[in-house]
Structures are given as structure tokens and as C-alpha cells.
Chains A and B, each alone.
Chain A
């Protein structure tokens, strides 16, 4: 396990199209869904640093269905970051897009559970080593 969720996906597309899918509100609404219901989530996202946005879905008994965030980094078409807060937790999401040539683009996602800068700085220190220790502790 890791304190930072890290995922890589490869798409047959262009940097520009992938960037647009990640930043255009109407496109986001086509793929960001509530995975429990499969319903698309409404959003008012804008790729503007400092912009505060929401993703919304039907509330349930356990969740008000609202994700709130603030855009932190807009480095078109390579890097996008925002906070992602929901249910009393605040995470930081960072998307990194990389052109692999041959019409392929790698999309890297990092989501960390610790949102302030100082904590992230601390997190870099011995993070991976610490995570393996953590696995032992959880075993």
C-alpha cells in the first residue's frame, strides 16, 4: 500500500484531446461518474488556478454527494493539480500527461491524502521506505 495513490493509464489520443477531457467541464461530465450508481457527476470545473469547483452526485445516507476542490496548477497540456475534498477529507490530485509518440499518451495520477505543502514535503522524506514498514505493521 501507499499513502499516495498512483495510477498510470495509456490512451490512444493526443495530448490536446486528453487535456481537454481533463479540464473541459462538459467533457468531465461524460466520464467522471459516481461509481456506485454509474450516474455522471455535475461539475463547474474550470482550468484556472484558484478556481473553486464542485462535483455533485445524489446524496446518500453516508455521503452528501459533494466533492469540493480548488485548482492549484494549470500547466497546459502537461500538468494539472487540484484539491479534492469530500466527507471531511481533503486530498490533492495531480495529473501528469506525457506524449509517448505513436499516437499514445500516458496519463499519470497521484492522489495524496495529505494536502498541505509542509506535509507533502515531509512525505517525500523516506516515503517509500516508510510505506514498506507500514505494510509490516499492518501484516
Chain B
């Protein structure tokens, strides 16, 4: 699978993907490096490579991680773009509640009069 296909094939919800502490740690690790092979990632956890690999698959499904084969090893890197989705809803609801809570202030002031 090439990178473009990976990016367009987001089959998992990004919120779901970041709901797990191991996966957040993986994102942190990948954010701090250009690219990391599975064994270097696995070395950071108490769990085995199969378990770490499963978490990476979930991150891949959310489009957060891209991988490529180099010889016999698979290297992983972060694709932060889907995290924008999280930023976007924060921005939307921040605006929504700020506007409405100001309206609530008017309502309470009117009631007080």
C-alpha cells in the first residue's frame, strides 16, 4: 500500500484511535522521530511485539501512522493530519458554547431585572 492510499483509507475513528494510552504513547514516540522500526517501538513497552503491532494497525486504520518496508523490517512514521479532526471539533464547540453562554448571561441579566 502506498502512502496516498493509506491517507485516503481512514477506516477508523481518530478519537477511537487515541483513546488508548499505549497508542498515545506510540504517537508521542513517533512524533519525536522521523521514522522508527517495530523493534525500537516495542522496546519502550512492557508488552510483546505482536501487541504493539496490533496497536500500530489501529493507528494505521485511523490514518495516524504510515509504514513502509525497508529490507526485512517495517518502519513506522506519524501522519499527524487526522489529529486536525480533533482540533476542529474543539474549535467548533468552543465557538458554539462561548456564543451560547454569552446569550445565557443576557438571559440571566434580564431575569434579574
CB A69 to nearest CB in B, in angstroms, measures 13
Q: Please report which residues of chain B, range 90-113, place their CB below 8 angstroms from some CB of chain A when the two chains form the complex.
A: 90, 93-101, 103-109, 111-112
CB B61 to nearest CB in A, in angstroms, measures 16
B56 interface residue (CB < 8 Å to A): no
> Could you say which residues of chain A place their CB within 8 Å of the CB of B108?
11-13, 17-18, 21
The 5 A-B pairs with the shortest beta carbon distances in the complex, nearest first, are A119-B19, A137-B31, A31-B104, A31-B103, A137-B80
A binding-site residues for B, Cβ under 8 Å: 1-3, 5, 7, 9, 11-13, 17-18, 21, 27, 30-33, 35, 89, 91, 107, 109, 111, 113-114, 116, 118-119, 122-123, 125-126, 130, 133-134, 136-138
B binding-site residues for A, Cβ under 8 Å: 15-16, 18-21, 24, 27-28, 31, 78, 80, 83-84, 86-87, 89-90, 93-101, 103-109, 111-112
